Amino acid sequence: MPEFTKEVGIAFALTFAAAFATCIGGLVIFSASMVKMANPKNLSIALALAGGVMVFISLVEIFNESVEQFKAGNADDNGTCDTTCEGNAWVFTNIAFAIGAVIIFLLDAIVHRLSPDLKDEVDAADLARLERAVAAEGHMALSTPDKDTLAGAEKAAMNRTGILTAVALAIHNLPEGIATYTAAVNDLKVGATLAIGIALHNLPEGIAVATPVYFATNNRWKAFWWACASSLAEPLGAILAFFILGDGLNPSVEGAMFGLVAGMMVTLSIKELIPSAVKFCPEGHAVSVAILGGMAVMSFSLILFAYVGV
């Protein structure tokens, strides 16, 4: 049984905090003001910021940490890593990175194979329907939303969509939990940064789950519960990483984990977050500015951390 240290506790706390952002997103069905805030442009900026944060921290910090761990694991008895050792470290890191990318594609393929019609992101049409309900009554509708236009079959389909979205996001969230824990247990600043990026894109995920379930069932608490349930895979991923890494005595294992994490996070950002951001805000430069803004914030943060010795 690995030792439960202070660092492990902080890593778990960051993972739970990032996961909790999904629940916060699910709260949109309780508040008219949150519905207005959850407009497509704001969601686009949040997703783009998250993408910029995750790509930057993955390539600048996590990838480099993988190389360093592989170098430590392949050094000689004196701790010296010659050119062959260093070259091997880069090869192993890139292999782990590629495997991490493949894992994301495989998870996505499995989910859509099980349910080809699944939508695994927030639906702008659902947001528009929520806004209409608020505009019509001045508050969240207490009766069934769009009761005149939602037939029983459509309600069942929307309920299925919301639940399947929760399942899909839970599968996608497993590697995110592994990533947050792995980064945080080794370097708090990297883990905290990654947790912020994951939390930013978990907000729209909560909306994506809660909104269709609410329209199908007229039950806010059920919709909120499904949104929160989709986030439980992140703590599960952290527990899995806890047992894989153990007490951190094998640098090569840690190097492999960091390489996997970097590959998964970069692929998730490029494949899911940034395209979704563009979808919600196809015109103008808001997405590119937000991506670069996320990277700039992380860059200045790392510079500040270096100066203060964190």
Contact 69, 249 (CB under 8 A): no
Is 146 within the bounds of a domain?
A: no
pLDDT the model gives residue 90: 95
- Domain assignment present for residue 115? The answer is yes
Does residue 77 form part of some domain? yes
Expressed as residue numbers, the domain containing 297 is 6-137+151-308
What's the number of domains the chain is made of?
1
Rg (CA), the chain: 21
- Here the tokens at position 247 are 């007490």
- Counting runs of H as helices and runs of E as strands, what totals does the chain give? 13, 0
User: Within a domain: residue 253?
Assistant: yes
Q: Of all helices (H) and strands (E), which one includes residue 147?
A: none
Q: Does some domain include residue 276?
A: yes
pLDDT at 143 (0 to 100): 44
In a domain, 161, yes or no: yes
Residue 142 lies in a domain: no
Quickly count: other Cβ atoms within 10 Å of residue 291's Cβ: 24
pLDDT at residue number 91: 95
Cβ burial of 177 (10 Å; 0-12, 13-18, 19+) is buried
Cα–Cα distance between 188 and 230 in angstroms, integer? 25
Return per-residue pLDDT of the chain as tens, 310 residues.
677 788 889 999 999 999 999 898 888 777 766 666 667 777 788 888 888 888 998 899 889 989 998 998 888 877 788 888 899 999 999 999 999 999 888 887 877 776 655 555 555 555 566 556 555 545 444 444 444 444 555 556 555 655 666 666 677 778 888 888 888 888 888 888 888 888 888 887 787 777 777 776 777 888 888 888 888 889 998 998 888 777 665 788 888 988 998 998 899 889 888 888 888 777 768 889 999 998 998 888 888 877 876 5
Residue 145 in any domain: the answer is no
